[in-house]
Amino acid sequence: MKATALARLLASATLLALSGCLLGPNYVRPTVEVPATYRFAQGEAAEIANVAWWEQFQDPVLNQLIATALLENLDVKIAAARVDEFQAQFVTTRSALFPQVVAGADASRQRVSQAAGIPIPNNVSPIYNQFDVTASVAWEIDLFGKVRRQTEAARANLLASEEGRRATILTLVSAVSSAYINLRSLDRQLEIAKVTVESRNESVRVFTLRFRGGEVSQMELAQSQSEYEAALATIPLLEMEIGQQENALSVLLGKNPGAILRGRDLATLGSPQIPNGLPSELLERRPDVLQAEQTLVSENALIGAAKALYFPSISLTGLFGTVSTQFSNLFTGPARVWSFAGSVTQPIFTAGNISGQVRQAEARQQEALFAYEKAIQVAFQEVEDALISVQKTNEQLAVLANQVEALQTYSRLARLRYEGGYTSYIEVLDAERSLFNAQLSYTQTQGAELTSFVNLYKAMGGGWVLAAEKLSIPPPAPATPPPGTEPVARGTAPAGEPAVALEPR
């Protein structure tokens, strides 16, 4: 049979494989219970889930930190490398659908033993050469869909890894924003503590002079010193938290621990709008939900791959080439060799091996199904938690603002009453202590309110993840100038433009 006959056989086998059946269940998205609306949805929600929401804080420094993190964060780089890994795995798995062609060439020189009892004619030399060039083909026909199901699973794993990368980006943007807000909140608390310490230090100085003059008792002086030390003790704690927060933020930026640049004060940060969306949209907007679904698709496909093991395995092999003892005759007609063969193997008794693999695949599919349903439930919970956090922290902030204002009045009046001799210094200390704690609580709640917006955007997902994903792609390297060219300055640049214009020379 000629090589063309082998080609026709392979073509026929290809058609047979493509028309073969697929065992196992085809994937259908499970029906899940989805609430019609969110319990704590607000009427003023805006359709802004597809934009870079962190820009609503109106802080260029925060924007730059997020851009740096998207390019340099190691978790994002790890996730990107994982996508490459699953891309290669998909290509490797899919390759089994096609014939595997291998070419080879050999050359050897041998001497046959003349004392081995095998007669060699006198005119034949015991030393001879052999040259051969061959091309072999091996192919397992995917008649029952085992390889196609494995390829389907590999493709789903690739898509799951891509969604995992997007989930990493979503978490990173949220983590950088929350860390920066917390850092600015701690900065503000430190400012309050230092102002309070300075004020109380002045009180201690005055009370010391008045005690020496016999105007106040030692008990009042000790009370003043106690409140000063209490406020002073908060400064090292806040400085420690600031340093640790800077270190954590540095790692998110893909850098070694160090200082972090500041932008707007906490009070001047913009307040993002509440994004709009329906609960059913979470199934398409949350990367972690999409990742869980693709994992379910993969495990569902592997059931068919396992069931295909029950059926025959059909393989074709072929070889075509030339063999000659003289290199000059290697490519002549008489030197040609060829062969082709087909084999069929059918499992008869495996002692439960195949059925065990099928049960494992079905169990993993159930695990993936429950994980998918849980991911949806957690997504709904996180959105509801974020929505109620936005509402209630806003209400709490308004109450704390009134409390701070009232305590400022109380502190001012208590000191006037004390200076007028109408009350003891204990009332002044109580007012100042309450004001200090209220100011710290107000600042902490300011940060918590802004963080609740961050958590809401993280929980709702959206097209902004794709926008952030584009920022995580490094820009192309600048083109290398052709040999023999170098920058030359020419002209004078207008104001606001580079002072040197470059052109090849």
Domains of the chain: 3-99+141-311+364-472 (1.20.1600.10)
Are 238 and 190 contacting, i.e. CB atoms less than 8 angstroms apart?
A: yes
Per-residue confidence (pLDDT) for residue 488, from 0 to 100: 43
pLDDT at residue number 277: 77
- pLDDT at position 1 is 44
Which two structure tokens, joined as six digits, stand for 122? 């006198």
- Residue-level pLDDT at 494: 39
Return the pLDDT at 11: 58
Closest by CA to 158, choosing from 245, 84, 237, is 84
Q: What pairing do the DSSP bridges indicate for beta strands 336-345 and 488-490?
A: unpaired
pLDDT for the residue numbered 118: 73
Give residues with Cβ within 8 angstroms of 395, minimum separation 6.
none
Give whole-number Cα distances, 312 to 280, 306, 308, 360, in Å.
Answer: 44, 13, 8, 21
Q: How far is CA 369 from the centre of its chain?
A: 22
Close Cβ partners of 129 (under 8 Å, ≥ 6 residues apart): 107, 108, 109, 110, 325, 326, 327
The pLDDT of residue 480 is 61
pLDDT at position 268 is: 94
Q: What is the pLDDT of residue 207?
A: 83
| The predicted structure's pLDDT at residue 18 | 52
SS3 58: coil
Residue 502: what pLDDT?
A: 34
Length of the chain: 505
pLDDT given at position 505: 31
CA distance 495 to 299: 62
- Walking along the chain (505 residues) 10 residues at a time, the average pLDDT comes out as 52 55 88 78 63 91 95 94 94 92 90 75 79 89 90 95 94 96 96 93 87 85 89 95 96 94 94 82 88 95 92 89 83 85 90 93 95 93 92 95 94 87 83 93 96 92 86 74 50 38 35
